[in-house]
Structures are given as C-alpha cells and as structure tokens.
Chains A and B, each alone.
Chain A
C-alpha cells in the first residue's frame, strides 16, 4: 500500500471512531465523553452501562459494520464492471435483498405460520442474501451477450430488475398487517433505529470472513482494471475470480441490507470518493471500507439529532434519508462528468 492510502485509511478510521464516541454520548440522556470511554473500558455506573452498551453501542456498531460492508461491496462491483455506477444499490442487489427480507418481515407473521424471535432473526439475513444473489444472478445472466458482459447494460438491466423487485416489495407491504408494514417501511428507508446486537453480529461475521478474502484478491483486482485480456495474460484466472468476487460483493451487500435496510448510495459514493482521494485507478478496499464506516456513522449522527437541532420535533430520521440526500447529488455529478467525457 502506498503511504497516501495508508494515511487516508487511518484518518477515516480515526474520524469514524471519534464520531462514534460522540454519538454514544449524545442522545436523550447526554453523557460526558469521559463516562462513555470509562464504560467502554469496562467501568462506569450501571445506568450508564445500560445506555451505552445495550442501547447505543449496538446501533452504532451496526452502522460501522454495514458502512464497511456496503462500501466494500460497491468497490468490488465497480472494479469488476469497470463502471463507477455499478454499485449494489443501482444494479438491483439491494432491491433483491429488500424483497427477500420484506417477505420474511411481512409473511412470517401472517401467511407462513408464526415465525418469530430466533427464526425471524435468522430468516431475515438468510432471505436477504438469497434475494440479493437471485437478483445478481438474473442481472448477470441477462447482461451477458455473446459471452461478453457490457458494463452499460449491467447498469440498465439492473435498474429494470430493481424496479420489478420494488413493485413486489410494494405489493408485500399492501398484503401485510399494518404493524408489519410499518416495520418493513421503516426498515426499507435504511434505518439504524433500535438495532440490537443480533442485527450487528451477522454483518460482523460477513465482514470478518469476507473482507480478508476480498483483500487476498487485491493484486488480481488491480490486473482486472487493465481489462480481461491483459489480466489473463498476467496469469489471472479471470472467469473464476470474477465469479468469486461477485459472490463476495453480493453477500456483503445483502448482509448489510439485512442488518440495516438498503441504506442508499453508501456503496456508490464511498468507493468513488476513496478512489479520487487516493488517486488510484480503482477503489482501494481498506480506504473504501473505513470511509464507508465514517459515512454511515456520520449520517446516522445527523439523522438521529438533525430534527432536534432544527427544532422540528423529537423525531429521528432514518439514516438512509441522509445518505440519499448527500448521495443523489453526487450521483448526478458523476453522471454529468461521464456525459461530458463522451
């Protein structure tokens, strides 16, 4: 790794941790930062420990982890397709995962017998991964023509598949019970509200297992950027590695979607910004991961407190609203640049 990449990674990680700490101390009960640190080091009073460890930390940990998972997934997909716009939220992975997860949330209560508690907790990530993989499979299969994947078509077909999955989601919201629909709608916006450790742990497992595997392919990814022909002449087994990385990217995005809903634009923006700042020819994985974590905790901090600061009322926004409000203009900017480059 070059020094610039290392420095930026450390900087983003440090900022993410600082914001996480501040976020742990701010809320309905405002705690001094020193108390928060004390609790994290194993001390503190019981009440403080409850607030920090049981209420706020699971949420913030989930935020950090899904930020990493979405960002790395986006970096992998963008590198594989050589297209800055091919992030899991654009090409249908998140929509597929959402359809799977909403099916469990809505149908578990009414249609499919009473699945609840443990089964629902396991069922949502599993269904999200299945839905995400299925969407990837369909988009991938449809965008291959004469053995070649056209990067522009991947994006367009992804938009179409996402629209179909979204209409299924809308239908499931209608047939479900009002309360289930409310839960699903809150989750669909991309939200970290009332996340528990059981939400964070599946994402943690995915990140801990898959991020190192993705990093083992670092050299191959750099070769793939040069084009399939060059990569294979450099000894990269293009087809196999492409498939492996595609599966990793999909599982990461789907697990993150299961954990916190389809938080918009993290997967698109974090790799692009990381690539620009490090001046690399592809999104560097570690810098992207740390930036993704920073982006999500920062957005969640704003989402949690923004409406109080603006004196609107004691409401919390879903984190996805904030990331969409920042990410959509950035996507429009990217499209504008691509148009001019033509």
Chain B
C-alpha cells in the first residue's frame, strides 16, 4: 500500500509541474526534462514549478511525520504542530531573531526556529501534563494558550518595525511559492536528522503504546524514547516552519489518513504519514494555484480551510484519545 501512496505522490508531483496558470502538456514536461533550451515552458517548469514542488514534498514529509509522532507520544488524536503552539514558538523565535538582527539567511533562521519549536514543544507538553497527565482538551487548550501568548508577542514585535511586517505577513500565511531549491538545501540537514530520529523512534513508539510500565518492562528507556521523539518533532517542525512558514493541519490530516490505512503500527504509520503529508502539501499548493486566478491562494490557507472540517470531524467522532 505504501507503494501505491508513493505512486499517488509521483502523480501529484507531475500534475504540479504540468498545471498552473498555464497548462503544459507531457510533451513540454519531457522537453524541459531532457532538452532545456531556455524556451518559456522550460523556464516555467525548471525554474518555478519544479523547485516549489520539491520544497512542498520535503516540508510535507517533515510536517506529516511531526504530527503523527506528536499523536503517538501524547496519545492524543488532536496533536498537531500548528494547533499545539509549536509553530507559534518557531514563528516567535524567527521574528525575534529578525528584529534583533541575529538572523538574515534561511540557514540561520532554521537554528532559531528550531530553538523556538523545541522550547514550545517542551513547554506545552510540560504545562499540559501537570496533575493527572495530559487530557486531549487540556493539551489542545494549553497549545491554544501558548499560541495566543506567542502570537501577541510576535505581533508586538512586528508592529514596532514596518519592514518586518511586510516580510512577516507573507511568511506567516504558510506558502511554498517562491521557495527555491536553495531553501530546500538549507533545511535539508535538519529535516534529515529529524527523519532519522523519527525512524529510530517509530519502534519505540510501538512499545510506548503498550503503556509506560510494559514498555519499561520490555527494556525500553522511556526517558530516552521521549527525548528522541521530542527532538524529532522539534527538528521536523522547525525545518518546515523555517522554510515555508507555519502551515497548520498538515500533521493532523496525514496522521489520520495514515492511521485509517495502516492501523496503529508506527513502523508503517510514520513513513506513510510522511508520504501523505508530502502529497497533501503538493496538492494544496496546486489547488491554491488553480483557484487563485490572477493571484494565488497560499497552501497554508488551502490547508486551513480543508483541515478545519477534518479537525471537527475527529472531535465529533469522540476519537480524541488514541
């Protein structure tokens, strides 16, 4: 089934190259792939559509896996970097870094976003699990509270500096438009490390799902497994947010679709969620390009509008606890 998912992703990839404000057929695609003599279609495909599609695949992979890992670790079907304040943490750190002049390039943005994402991940998890452990409602609300606080502070900083606002508003909406291969290259090390940690963590998660006591009895170091998981979530979210801005609901969407197809085994679930996340982001970007007419609707907005009904569906089904 994973093979079928990859095929769907490849189809989405091809569609993303062919469709847009101007339709370019298979012939043009082949031409751009093989000849590339600088004709208009070649430039559009190689210079514009290919880079953003690659970025969408990479970031979709990261965010899909980050969300699914969060759902596993918190045993909470609503876990999602966008909802849980992790993206807000990364966003706040980036804006603070911009304002203080600490960051200017994308690669330094990643470090700052990483730090913000990690701190927010730990903070939300810690704050929500006081008392009798984190309930789904408690975790969602803690995330909302942290996101509201960080959002207000972010706005305050942005408003002090008109120049930051203009770049911030394009970044805050969540989009892959105009992101080149250089951006993908700069976040790649962080994404790769995150993916490795996620792969290591997948089997531990299967054990953790049996309950902490059983997992410890089977010889798993709970503390280490949690730390590796949090590290993976932080790295993957940071790479995503640094490259494309805060894109919400992608982790939620991928996690749930993957769970329906592959059940609860994380060793299958996590790679599947990554492929689904990549496909969703490529498609969201494509839809945004097609419905936008002269302009375009950013992928983050498309996912917000599509993701919210899904979120509501999950809540209504009483499926909030995994």
Cα of A128 to Cα of B172 in the assembled complex, Å: 22
A:108-138 near B, CB below 8 Å:
none
Contacts A167-B248, A264-B152, A339-B131; A157 near B312 (Cβ below 8 A)? yes
Cα of A190 to Cα of B152 in the assembled complex, Å: 9
A171 touches B173 (CB 8 A): yes
Scan A151-168; emit 1 where CB is below 8 A from any B CB, else 0: 011011101110110111
- Among A161, A325, A335, the residue within 8 A (CB) of B152 is A325
Judged by a CB distance under 8 angstroms, whether A241 is at the interface is no
B149 touches A335 (CB 8 A): no
Q: Please, how many residues of chain A have a CB less than 8 angstroms from a CB on the other chain?
A: 51
Instruction: Tell me if A's interface is mostly helix, strand, loop or mixed.
Output: helix
Scan B116-145; emit 1 where CB is below 8 A from any A CB, else 0: 000000000001101111111110111011
Judged by a CB distance under 8 angstroms, whether B262 is at the interface is no
Cα of A335 to Cα of B70 in the assembled complex, Å: 20
Chain A residue numbers with a CB within 8 Å of B138 are 335, 338-339
B127 touches A336 (CB 8 A): yes
A159 touches B140 (CB 8 A): yes
B304 touches A163 (CB 8 A): yes
- Among B149, B155, B297, the residue within 8 A (CB) of A171 is B297
Scan B137-175; emit 1 where CB is below 8 A from any A CB, else 0: 110111011101101110110111010011001101110
Judged by a CB distance under 8 angstroms, whether A174 is at the interface is yes
A164 touches B141 (CB 8 A): no
Contacts A189-B159, A321-B156, A339-B132; A161 near B141 (Cβ below 8 A)? no
Judged by a CB distance under 8 angstroms, whether A186 is at the interface is yes
The 10 A-B pairs at the shortest CB distance, nearest first, are namely A167-B304, A164-B308, A324-B152, A328-B149, A340-B131, A160-B311, A339-B131, A171-B301, A189-B155, A170-B173
Chain B residue numbers with a CB within 8 Å of A175 are 295
Judged by a CB distance under 8 angstroms, whether A318 is at the interface is yes
B130 touches A339 (CB 8 A): yes
Chain B residue numbers with a CB within 8 Å of A317 are 156
Nearest-neighbour CB distance to chain B for A330, whole angstroms, equals 9
A185 touches B159 (CB 8 A): yes
Cα of A178 to Cα of B78 in the assembled complex, Å: 35
Chain B residue numbers with a CB within 8 Å of A161 are 308, 312
Instruction: Tell me if B's interface is mostly helix, strand, loop or mixed.
Output: helix
Which residues of A are at the interface with B, using a C-beta cutoff of 8 A?
85, 89-90, 142, 145, 152-153, 155-157, 159-161, 163-164, 166-168, 170-171, 173-175, 178, 181-182, 185-186, 188-190, 264-265, 315, 317-318, 320-321, 324-325, 327-329, 331-332, 335-336, 338-340, 342
Chain A residue numbers with a CB within 8 Å of B127 are 332, 335-336
Scan B282-322; emit 1 where CB is below 8 A from any A CB, else 0: 00000000000001011011011101100110011000100
Most B CB contacts (10 A, CB to CB) among A85, A160, A329, A336 go to: A160
Cα of A152 to Cα of B138 in the assembled complex, Å: 10
Judged by a CB distance under 8 angstroms, whether B249 is at the interface is yes
Chain B residue numbers with a CB within 8 Å of A152 are 137
- Among A157, A164, A189, A338, the residue within 8 A (CB) of B156 is A189
A335 touches B142 (CB 8 A): yes
Cα of A152 to Cα of B137 in the assembled complex, Å: 7
Contacts A142-B316, A168-B305, A328-B148; A173 near B169 (Cβ below 8 A)? yes
Contacts A171-B298, A173-B173; A321 near B148 (Cβ below 8 A)? no
Contacts A163-B248, A188-B155; A335 near B308 (Cβ below 8 A)? no
Q: Nearest B residue to A190 by beta-carbon distance?
A: B152
Chain A residue numbers with a CB within 8 Å of B166 are 178, 181
Cα of A160 to Cα of B316 in the assembled complex, Å: 12
Judged by a CB distance under 8 angstroms, whether B51 is at the interface is no
Q: Nearest A residue to B143 by beta-carbon distance?
A: A159
B172 touches A170 (CB 8 A): yes
Nearest-neighbour CB distance to chain B for A90, whole angstroms, equals 7
Chain B residue numbers with a CB within 8 Å of A331 are 141, 145, 148
- Among B156, B172, B295, the residue within 8 A (CB) of A318 is B156
- Among A159, A167, A174, the residue within 8 A (CB) of B170 is A174
Chain A residue numbers with a CB within 8 Å of B140 are 155-156, 159
Judged by a CB distance under 8 angstroms, whether B64 is at the interface is no
Chain B residue numbers with a CB within 8 Å of A173 are 169, 172-173
A159 touches B152 (CB 8 A): no
24 contacts between A and B (CB under 8 A): A155-B137, A159-B83, A159-B144, A159-B311, A167-B300, A167-B301, A167-B305, A170-B173, A170-B174, A171-B301, A182-B165, A185-B158, A185-B165, A190-B152, A264-B152, A317-B156, A318-B152, A332-B145, A335-B141, A339-B130, A339-B131, A340-B130, A340-B131, A340-B132
Judged by a CB distance under 8 angstroms, whether B82 is at the interface is yes
Cα of A178 to Cα of B168 in the assembled complex, Å: 12
B148 touches A264 (CB 8 A): yes
